[in-house]
């Protein structure tokens, strides 16, 4: 049956290479040291722009279902997913997004992996959760060499069906982000083995094969590795109480769990669990930044594509000056976020802990904070078409607040920046050195502010730091039209209003053309 195309409607944006059609991403991958993986990234971008887009829709239309018991009343504690979820997982695991830097420990590996994770997050964000946690868990697991030797071959396998994935369960109902207040207890069984009792308020991707958790020992909060299935093949005592009914991220299960004497093994030093697991948290914060940047890219692709095909009042939307201003503003935010995310990934490649320590928190705060407003504005570009569920924009909009909450909401991250400035002055020096490369005057302005921050003004300071970092990157690496418009709007004048308020005189069309998925 022939498909009749309605007049003045944009065609679906599908069947395109999600990597190759993103000029800023391609340039940034090369610049930050991941150019050797460009062919791999391109092949993945080609795959992701095809059937997986439909898998993403199906996985969200058919969210996971909790099965606590089987038909005979036996406790099974399993989550049932739509087949599209497993297709998405096979795609990303097969491409190594959960393990690439650990499988190929070479320069640019974290950058290469970040670029492909950026692509996969545009297809479907929910399945990125177990991918991200597995990637991040390996940084923590290496604090326990014996456990790493046992689990790393499975956690780095490219076979989704025979390998393993790692989840995380830290927060509790009475503590939330204050993980030191956790009440889960651990009773020693001998050696590095313990029995855990307690309740976890959030356990993301509860069908993972193994989890990192915190529990209290006599020495204080301690990190444990807790498998879902015991070595003898029986179920561990992890009970799934319910699945969270979330605003977005519908494809991914997040559970409330009870530990009824669950068996686990210590990771790292007893009593220093927060310090041990912070390696995992830092890597997942990096992924929060990448994920939000990817959401912005998806929004820009949809908005610019629509504007290039939709006419109103006798002209294409993209040719109308006010719409061009809005689109250009969205494009600026997206490119700045992309540049920031991959520059941050390079710091992990280089082992540049001082820069990564501070810049991860700053970038996580700002890029994730900008995502909801960005998604809302892109949705408005499509008008009513963007507000109906057939459009990808509602799912993108519901997803947009998530990364700002996970791994520390705004205040937690802003306070973490203050903590880093106070305890690790070398991180401030590394951050300022990066800003100084492109904006020496702004670095000089920031230096005394970083030396004497105050808590009530923490968010304002972090915002200024983030914009300084982004401005420095764009001044050095982006085309003049992009860099000049970013600095004129974000660093000068009275910026802070809605998208589409860029100053006159910018080359909006050049900015939009660069970002459009031609």
Letter string b/e over residues 47-56, b meaning 16 or more CB atoms within 10 A of that residue's CB: bbbeebbebb
> What's residue 21's pLDDT?
97
Identify the bridge partners of residue 226 per DSSP, sorted by sequence position.
211
Give this prediction's pTM: 0.96
The yes-or-no verdict on residue 177 having pLDDT over 80 is no
- Identify the H or E element spanning 239: strand 238-243
> What's residue 495's pLDDT?
64
The yes-or-no verdict on residue 6 having pLDDT over 70 is no
166-271 and 275-515 have identical folds: no
- Total Cβ atoms within 10 A of residue 359: 26
The yes-or-no verdict on residue 182 having pLDDT over 90 is no
Classify 315 in phi/psi space as left (phi over 0), alpha (psi -120 to 50) or beta. Answer: beta
The yes-or-no verdict on residue 500 having pLDDT over 90 is yes
pLDDT band at 181 (very low <50, low <70, confident <90, very high): confident
The yes-or-no verdict on residue 492 having pLDDT over 90 is no
Return the ∠ at Cα 354 (arms to 349 and 358), rounded to 5°.
100
**441-to-42, 62, 381, 473 alpha-carbon distances in Å:** 38, 52, 36, 14
Q: How many residues does the chain have?
A: 518
- Kindly state the tokens that stand for 402: 């998530």
- Kindly state the tokens that stand for 88: 């998405």
**Which of 51, 68, 48, 47 has the alpha carbon at shortest distance from 253?**
68
> What's residue 2's pLDDT?
43
Please provide the DSSP assignment of 106-147 as one string. Answer: STTHHHHHHHHHHHHHHH-STTHHHHHHHHHHHHHHTTSHHH
pLDDT band at 494 (very low <50, low <70, confident <90, very high): low
> Residue 362 and residue 462: Cα distance in Å, rounded?
6
Structure confidence by residue, pLDDT tens digits, 115-172: 999 999 999 999 999 999 999 999 999 889 999 999 999 999 999 999 999 999 988 8
Contacts (Cβ under 8 Å, ≥6 apart) of 260: 197, 237, 238, 239
Q: Could you tell me if 462 and 366 are in contact, meaning their C-beta atoms sit under 8 angstroms apart?
A: yes
pLDDT band at 1 (very low <50, low <70, confident <90, very high): very low
Quick one: average pLDDT of 316-332?
96
> Residue 214 and residue 224: Cα distance in Å, rounded?
6
Quick one: average pLDDT of 247-271?
96
Structure confidence by residue, pLDDT tens digits, 422-474: 999 999 999 999 999 999 999 999 999 999 999 999 999 999 999 999 999 99
| Fold assignment, 166-271 | Butyryl-CoA Dehydrogenase, subunit A; domain 2 (2.40.110)
| Fold assignment, 275-515 | Butyryl-CoA Dehydrogenase, subunit A; domain 3 (1.20.140)
Structure confidence by residue, pLDDT tens digits, 393-427: 999 999 999 999 999 899 999 999 999 999 999 99
**252-to-60, 74, 135 alpha-carbon distances in Å:** 8, 25, 17
Top-confidence residue, 508 or 494: 508
> Residue 272 and residue 427: Cα distance in Å, rounded?
22
């996970």: which residue's tokens?
406
> What's residue 496's pLDDT?
61
**Which of 220, 210, 207, 370 has the alpha carbon at shortest distance from 300?**
370
- Identify the H or E element spanning 213: strand 210-217
> Residue 308 and residue 338: Cα distance in Å, rounded?
23
* Average pLDDT of the chain to the nearest whole number: 95
Is the dihedral angle over the CA atoms 122, 125, 127, 129 positive or is it negative? positive
> What's residue 186's pLDDT?
95
Please provide the DSSP assignment of 300-369 as one string. Answer: HHHHHHHHHH-EETTEEGGGSHHHHHHHHHHHHHHHHHHHHHHHHHHHHHTT-HHHHHHHHHHHHHHHHH
Please compute Rg for the chain using Cα positions.
23
Structure confidence by residue, pLDDT tens digits, 55-71: 999 999 999 999 999 99
> Residue 294 and residue 369: Cα distance in Å, rounded?
14
Domain ranges for the chain: 23-155, 166-271, 275-515
- Total Cβ atoms within 10 A of residue 452: 7
- Kindly state the tokens that stand for 137: 């868990």
Return the ∠ at Cα 105 (arms to 466 and 289), rounded to 5°.
25
> What's residue 49's pLDDT?
96
The distance from CA 315 to its chain's CA centroid, rounded to whole angstroms, is 37
pLDDT band at 4 (very low <50, low <70, confident <90, very high): very low
């Amino acid at each position: 049956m022939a498909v009749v195309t309605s007049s003045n409607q944009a065609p679906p944006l599908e069947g395109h290479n999600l990597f190759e059609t993103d000029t800023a991403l391609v340039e940034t991958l090369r610049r930050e040291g991941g150019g050797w993986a460009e062919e791999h990234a391109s092949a993945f971008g080609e795959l992701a722009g095809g059937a997986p887009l439909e898998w993403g829709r199906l996985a969200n239309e058919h969210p996971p279902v909790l099965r606590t018991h089987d038909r005979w009343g036996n406790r099974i504690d399993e989550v049932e997913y739509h087949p599209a979820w497993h297709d998405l997982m096979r795609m990303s695991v097969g491409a190594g997004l959960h393990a690439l830097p650990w499988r190929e420990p070479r320069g640019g590996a974290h950058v290469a992996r970040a670029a492909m994770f950026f692509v996969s997050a545009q297809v479907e964000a929910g399945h990125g959760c177990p991918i991200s946690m597995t990637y991040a868990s390996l940084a923590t697991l290496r604090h326990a060499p014996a456990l790493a030797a046992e689990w790393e071959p499975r956690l780095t396998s490219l076979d989704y069906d025979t390998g393993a994935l790692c989840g995380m369960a830290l927060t509790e109902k009475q503590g939330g982000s204050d993980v030191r207040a956790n009440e889960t207890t651990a009773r020693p069984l001998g050696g590095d083995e313990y029995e855990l009792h307690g309740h976890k308020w959030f356990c993301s991707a509860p069908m993972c094969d193994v989890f990192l958790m915190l529990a209290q020992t006599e020495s204080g909060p301690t990190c444990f590795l807790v498998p879902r299935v015991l070595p003898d093949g029986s179920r561990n005592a992890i009970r799934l109480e319910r699945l969270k009914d979330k605003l977005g991220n519908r494809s991914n299960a997040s559970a409330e769990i009870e530990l009824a004497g669950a068996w686990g093994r210590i990771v790292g030093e007893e009593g220093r669990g927060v310090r041990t697991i912070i390696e995992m948290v830092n890597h997942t914060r990096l992924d929060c930044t990448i994920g939000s940047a990817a959401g912005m890219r998806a929004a820009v692709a949809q908005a610019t594509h629509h504007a290039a095909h939709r006419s109103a009042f006798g002209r294409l939307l993209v040719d109308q000056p006010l719409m061009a201003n809005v689109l250009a503003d969205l494009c600026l935010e997206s490119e700045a976020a992309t540049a920031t995310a991959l520059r941050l990934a390079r710091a992990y490649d280089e082992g540049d802990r001082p820069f990564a320590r501070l810049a991860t928190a700053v970038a996580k705060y700002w890029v994730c904070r900008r995502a909801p407003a960005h998604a809302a504005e892109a949705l408005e570009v499509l008008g009513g078409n963007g507000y109906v569920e057939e459009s990808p924009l509602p799912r993108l909009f519901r997803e947009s607040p998530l990364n700002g909450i996970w791994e520390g909401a705004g205040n937690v991250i802003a306070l973490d920046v203050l903590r880093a400035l106070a305890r690790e002055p070398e991180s401030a020096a590394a951050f300022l050195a990066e800003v100084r490369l492109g904006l020496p005057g702004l670095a000089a302005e920031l230096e005394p502010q970083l030396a004497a921050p105050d808590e009530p003004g923490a968010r304002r300071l972090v915002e200024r730091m983030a914009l300084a970092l982004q401005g420095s990157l764009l001044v050095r690496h982006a085309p003049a039209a992009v860099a000049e418009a970013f600095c004129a709007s974000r660093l000068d004048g009275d910026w802070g209003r809605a998208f589409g308020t860029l100053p006159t005189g910018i080359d909006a069309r050049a900015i939009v053309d660069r970002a459009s998925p031609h």
